[in-house]
């Protein structure tokens, strides 16, 4: 039995369907109606080696907020379910990723204690359907539902697209390392015996 999940959420604002497999990478299939967000999720899945399928419809006539946040909630649920009791995982992941003039550092702990540190410059980029504040909402929803401690830091960057691209790539890479199976341990990676 693989580490997989199929999760959905339907509200008056959005309909989200997500399929996730932590162990068998396939080309991501992302359709949220927010092109830039699709690009970011594709990068996160590809660099995280995650088999990820996302289909979302939302009230984009208002803005992208509900769609982006709700995708974070459902993806967080899927990650939590796919991890199960988290036995045998490496638990921690860290990645530093450059994107031209921007640099992102992301560290994750599969702690089952949701906490987000999001230290990212508020880069204003006109014409983007997704900005830094919406990225923060996505990651907040993700960590709360997946039970992750996630630290995201961008010490420098000027272009909003580059900043967010570095963040999502680094998040995928850090998650990839954290969810990997530790060949030297099959138990829960905690002295408490549980996460």
Where do the domains of the chain lie? 4-179
51-58 vs 29-31, strand pairing mode: parallel
pLDDT at position 128, please? 72
Mean pLDDT of 16-38: 97
User: Which pTM does this prediction carry?
Assistant: 0.96
Q: Is the dihedral of CA 125, 94, 35, 82 positive or negative?
A: negative
Phi (first) and psi of residue 182, to 5 degrees = -85, 115
pLDDT at position 152, please? 98
User: Which DSSP helix (H) or strand (E) runs through 114?
Assistant: none
Give CA–CA dist 124/65, Å, rounded: 17
Instruction: Give 4-179's CATH code, choosing from 3.40.50.2300, 1.10.150.120, 2.40.50.100, 3.30.230.40.
Output: 3.30.230.40
pLDDT in tens, 115-145: 999 999 988 666 677 889 999 999 999 999 9
pLDDT at position 2, please? 86
pLDDT at position 116, please? 98
Give CA–CA dist 46/51, Å, rounded: 8
Give CA–CA dist 64/34, Å, rounded: 7
Give CA–CA dist 119/103, Å, rounded: 12
């Amino acid at each position: 039995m693989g580490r997989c999940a199929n999760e959905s959420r339907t509200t008056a604002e959005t309909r989200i369907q997500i399929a996730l497999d932590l162990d068998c990478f396939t080309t991501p299939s992302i359709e949220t109606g927010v092109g830039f967000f699709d690009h970011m999720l594709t990068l996160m899945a590809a660099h995280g080696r995650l088999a990820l399928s996302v289909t979302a419809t939302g009230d984009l006539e208002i803005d992208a907020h509900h769609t982006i946040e709700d995708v974070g909630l459902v993806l967080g649920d899927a990650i939590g379910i796919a991890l199960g009791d988290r036995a045998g995982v490496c638990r921690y992941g860290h990645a530093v990723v450059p994107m031209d003039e921007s640099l992102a550092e992301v560290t994750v702990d599969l702690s089952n204690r949701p906490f987000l540190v999001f230290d990212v410059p508020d880069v204003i980029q006109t014409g983007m359907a997704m900005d830094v504040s919406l990225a923060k909402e996505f990651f907040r929803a993700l960590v709360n539902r997946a039970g992750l401690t996630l630290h995201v830091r961008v010490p420098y960057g000027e272009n909003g697209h580059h900043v967010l691209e570095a963040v999502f790539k680094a998040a995928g890479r850090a998650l990839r390392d954290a969810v990997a199976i530790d060949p030297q341990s099959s138990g829960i990676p905690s002295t408490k015996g549980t996460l």
